[in-house]
Structure 1
Amino acid sequence: MPVDTSKRGRDVSSAVETSLPTAPPALVTEPVSASRRALLVGGLVAAGGAAVAASRAQSQATPDPMAGHAMPGGAVDPYSAHDSGVAHGNMTMVGQVDHARNGFDPTAMLTDWETGRTEVLPDGRTLRTFEVDAIDMEIEIAPGVFFPAWTFNGRVPGPALRAKEGERLRIIFRNLGSHPHSMHFHGIHSARMDGVQGAGLIDPGEEFVYEFDARPFGCHLYHCHALPLKRHMHKGMYGLFVVDPDPARHPEFAAVAASRVLGSPENAEWQELAMVMNGFDTNFDGENEVYAVNTVGQAYMNAPIRIDKSRPVRIYLMNATEFDPINSFHLHGNFFDYYDTGSQLTPTLRTVDVIMQCQAQRGILEFSFADHEDGLYMFHAHQAEFTELGWMGFFDVREAGA
C-alpha cells in the first residue's frame, strides 16, 4: 500500500534519511509525497548547502567520522579535536557562508555590544544615544541559502544595545527600508515611546527619536511592531537590549551587580556572549526551514566558540523565533544557573541544563568549565528538528593560552 506522508511532517530525519518503508517495491504503487522540509533539504543539497542530508553524505564518505586526538593506550578522544565540527556526529553543513558579503559575522556578534555615545546632562545623569537604521537587504543564512531580510543596521539580529540602569536613553531611528517600521522596547517608558501606530511607527524616509530611562536592569529586547507583526519579526527586525544594574542601587548584591557592568574590573573576569535564537521561513508558508542562533545555521559548529576554562561564562539569551511556540537551549556536559529576564541578581533556576523560551522571552545563563577537561562541548536546541536544521554549536574549552 502507498505510504501516507500527507500529514504535515515534522520529522526531517525520517524524510531525508529513510528512502521508503521495508515493504516490497511492488506494493508501492504511487509516488511518496514528500514533506516541504524534505523538499527543502533536497533543494539545499542541489544548491550545495544542506544541513542534514549533506552532513549524512559526508558521514558516509568519511572512513572514521569520529576521529579525534590520540589518547594513552591508543584510544581516540573524539571531543578533543579543536579544528573540526564533524567530531560529533558529522552534523555540519557543506560549504561556507560569506560573512563579509552579509556584513556581519556570528562569531563577532557574540561580543559586539553597541554602547552608543554618551554625554553628561545638566542634572549629572548620563545621556546615551544610539543611532539605528531600518534597511532591506538579502542575507545568507546557510551556505547558498539567501533570505530577503528587513534589518536594523544591516544585520540580523539587530545591534545588541547596552546601557546602564538609570541612564537617559535616546534612540535616533531612521527608516531606510521599503515598509513602515518602528522600534518597540521591552522596558518601562511612556505610551508616546511605545513604537506602535502613532507612537514611533514611521513610513519609509522618516525619522523618529525615542527617549526614556534605562529601566529595569536586565536582558531585554526590542523589535519592530508594525503590522503584520509576524512578518516584521520573522524577517529579522529584533535585537537584544541589555541594561546593566547600577551596583549603588543594589548594595546587598553590589558585587554581583558590578560583575554585570560592561567595562568594570569585575565584569572583565567573565566571558559574556550575546545569543539570539531565530528561525527562517524560506518559502513563506508559515513554517521555518532553517534554525540558528545569531542567524547563520550551524555557525558555531563550523567555528566553535573559544572558551577560557579559567573564567566563568555568561550568556544573554533571547528567543526571536516566529511560527514555533517555543525554542530552547541545552548545554552538554554541564549545568548552569538561569536568571529569567535577567532582572534579578539571584537565579530563578539553579543547576539546570535545559531551559525553554517562548518568543520574546529572554534570560541570563551562567556556568563554568573550570573543572572540565579541555574539549568540544555541544550546545543546541532540544527540539531535535531544530538541531538538524541548523541550531547547534560547540564551545571549544581550553586552558588560557592553549
Structure 2
Amino acid sequence: MITAHVRHEVAPGIVYDAWTFDSIVPGPTIRVTAGDTVDFTLVNRGPIPHSMDFHAAEIAPDRAYRNVMPNDSVQFRFVARVPGAFMYHCGTAPVASHIANGMYGALLVDPKGGRPAADEYVLVQSEFYMTAPQGRDSLRGMDWGKVLNASPDYVVFNGVSARYATSPIPVAPKRPLRLFVVNAGPNRVSAFHVVGAIFDRVYVDGFGAPLRGLQTWNVPVGGGAIFDLTLAEDGYYPFVTHAFADATKGGVGVLRAGTPAGTAH
C-alpha cells in the first residue's frame, strides 16, 4: 500500500483533507484464507510519518508496526491464522488522529473451506471530526478537540455520509446475504441493525459459534462482526447504527431487495 494525503468528499460539497491508504477512504479491503501468508509493504508518500497495524496479525509490533518516515517503506510478513473480520489502521501516535483522518480499512480472513454461499458486502463504519472550511476551496481538516470529546460531525459507512441511503445496495430477497461490518471508530460503537430483518447468525469478530436470532449487535471500536441474514420480500431495508445521534449524522444506508413496490420493472 501507498500512503497519500488526498481530498475526500464526505458529503455533497464537504471536502476533507484526508490521510489515506492507496488514496481511498476506507483503504482497500484485503481478503485471504486462514493459513495464508500476508506479505505486506507500506510505502509512505505522505509528508509525515505513518505506519500499519493489522488486527489480524500476531507479530511483534515494535518490529512490524514501526513508523515509516516520508519517502521510506517497511515490509513484513505474517500468517493470517484466525478467521474473521478485522480492522487495519495507521498506528502512528496520536493514533486517534491518523484514524480520524481516514487511515483504516478491513482485512477479511476466510476459514479454510470457505463460508456458506451468500451475497457479500463489506461495511466499514467510521467518523469525521471537522474544522470550519478553510481557504478558497473550503477544505476541511480534523478538529482535535472534537476527537477528544468524541463529538463527530459525520458518522459514515465506507467513507461517505448516507452513502447507501442515496444509492441503495441492490440485493436479492429470499437469498442468503452476508454483511462484514468493521468499526474503525475512532470513538463510536456501531449498534448495527437492519430494519425489517432479524439476523440468522452473527459471528463476533467473525469466528467461533454464531449467535442466532439477534435484532442488533454492538460492534466495538476496533472490532468486527459478520452478519448473515435473509430479506423476506422485495422492498427497501434501511441499515443503521441504532445509536440514532450517529445515524442522524450519516450512519445509515439502504438495502434494495428485488423490485420494491412503486419502482419500475
Q: With structure 2 as the length reference, what TM-score do the two structures score?
A: 0.87
Name which one, 1 or 2, has greater alpha-carbon Rg.
Answer: 1
CA distance in structure 2 between the aligned counterparts of 1:222 and 1:164, rounded to whole angstroms = 16
Q: Is the 8 A contact 1:195 1:201 kept in 2?
A: no
Q: 2:40 aligns with which of 163, 171, 175?
A: 171
CA apart distance, 1:299: 1.0
SS of residue in 1 equivalent to 2:185: coil
CA distance in 2: counterparts of 1:293 and 1:146, whole angstroms: 16
Output the CA distance in 2 between the equivalents of 1:141 and 1:192. Answer: 32
Q: Give yes or no for the alignment of 1:334 onto 2:197.
A: yes
Q: 1:224 to 1:195 in 2, by over 3 A?
A: farther
What's 1:212 paired with? 78
Secondary structure class of the residue paired with 2:97: helix
Does residue 384 (structure 1) correspond to residue 232 (structure 2)? The answer is no
Q: CA deviation at 1:281?
A: 0.4
**Secondary structure of the equivalent of 1:333?**
coil
Inter-partner Cα distance in structure 1 for 2:103 and 2:126: 11
How big is each residue's C-alpha offset from its partner over 1:88-134, in whole Å with a ceiling of 9 and x where there is no partner? xxxxxxxxxxxxxxxxxxxxxxxxxxxxxxxxxxxxxxxxxxxx111
Contact 1:193–1:210 (8 Å) recurs in 2: no
1:394: how far off?
A: 1.1
Cα distance in structure 2, aligned partners of 1:319 and 1:182:
19
**Match status 1:364 vs 2:229:** no
**What's 2:3 paired with?**
134
Deviation at 1:167, TM superposition (A): 1.4
**Could you say what the CA RMSD is over the residues aligned between the two structures, in angstroms?**
1.6
Q: Distance in 2 between matches of 1:188 and 1:398?
A: 39
Question: Residue type matched to 1:272 in 2?
Answer: E
Secondary structure of 1:320 counterpart: strand
Deviations 1:280-300 (A, max 9, x none): 001213221011111111111
Gaps of 5+ in 2: 132-142, 260-264
1:212 Cα deviation after fit: 1.0
The residue type paired with residue 79 of structure 2 is: D
Q: Which is richer in helix?
A: 1
Retained in 2: the 8 A contact 1:332–1:379? Answer: yes
**2:156 alignment partner AA:** A
Contact kept? 1:185, 1:194, Cα under 8 Å: no
Give yes or no for contact 1:184–1:194 (8 Å, CA) kept in 2: no
Amino acid across the alignment from 1:374: D
2:258 is equivalent to residue 395 of structure 1: no
Amino acid at match of 2:161: G
Number of aligned residue pairs: give it.
243
State the match for 1:85 in structure 2: none
CA–CA separation in structure 2 for the residues paired with 1:212 and 1:383 = 36
For 2:220 and 2:61, locate their aligned partners in 1 and report how far apart those are by CA, in whole Å: 27
Query: 2:242 aligned with 1:354, yes or no?
Result: no
Question: 2:87, 2:184 within 8 Å by CA — same for their partners in 1?
Answer: no
Contact 2:174 2:233 in 1 (8 A): no
Partner of 1:42: none
TM superposition outliers: structure 1 runs of 4+ over 2 Å: 187-190, 192-196
* Structure 2 counterparts to residues 192-207 of structure 1, below 5 A: 195-196=64-65, 200-207=66-73
Deviation, 1:379, is 1.1
Is the 2:4–2:20 contact (alpha carbons within 8 Å) kept by the matching residues of 1?
yes
Q: What code does the residue aligned with 1:388 have?
A: T
Identify if the C-alpha distance between structure 1 residues 153 and 193 changes in structure 2 by more than 3 Å, giving closer, same or farther.
farther
Aligned pair in 2 of structure 1 residues 292, 186: CA closer, same or farther (>3 Å)? Answer: same
Q: Which amino acid aligns with 1:298?
A: A
Query: Could you tell me which residue of structure 2 aligns to residue 187 of structure 1?
Result: 56
Q: Do the aligned residues in 1 keep the contact of 2:187 with 2:221 (CA within 8 Å)?
A: no
Q: What is the rounded CA distance, in whole Å, between the counterparts of 1:182 and 1:145 in structure 2?
A: 27
In structure 1, stretches of 5+ residues that fail to align are 1-131, 248-257, 261-265
In 2, Cα distance between equivalents of 1:327 and 1:368 = 21
* Whole-Å separation in 2 of the counterparts to 1:218 and 1:358: 14
More strand by percentage: 2
1:240 aligns with 2:88: no
Q: Which residue in the other structure is 1:302 paired with?
A: 166
Partner of 2:134: none
Distance in 2, Cα, partners of 1:363 & 1:230: 22
Q: Does 1:274 align with 2:122?
A: yes
- 1-structure distance, mates of 2:55, 2:186: 17
Q: CA deviation at 1:322?
A: 2.0
**Deviations 1:349-383 (Å, cap 9, x if unpaired)?**
211111112210111000001xx231111111111
